Amino acid sequence: MSMIESNFEIPSLDSLLASDLFWDLVDQLNLVEVATVVESIAQLGLPENAIDLFERWIERDEEATVELSSGSLRVSDGNGNWVKLPVDKLKANG
């Protein structure tokens, strides 16, 4: 068996977030999926990028509504689906 060498490099998160392909994929996500991605990016210590991602998704969804209450961000997709993200999860890690 031969091993195939590859020059493929995994892009940095910053370059990924700057790519059109990434945003095209984000535009295909539903509310729960985008909330999961937002939490993951925030946990990586990039809260500004996480918030940018959520804002872009909310702007794309004409029926989305956003509420901020009791330290949580609540977002609806207008179809009865809600996600609730604690604001502290969207802050930089320590």
Confidence band of 48 (pLDDT split at 50, 70, 90): confident
At position 40, the amino acid (one-letter code) is S
Q: What's residue 88's pLDDT?
A: 73
Identity of the highest mean pLDDT range in 29-33, 44-48, 89-93: 29-33
Q: Per-domain residue ranges for the chain?
A: 13-90
Residues 6+ apart with CB under 8 A from 4: none
Token pair for residue 84?
């609730």
Whether the CB-CB separation of 65 and 75 falls below 8 Å is answered with yes
Confidence band of 94 (pLDDT split at 50, 70, 90): very low
Per-residue model confidence as pLDDT tens digits over 11-29: 777 787 778 888 788 778 8
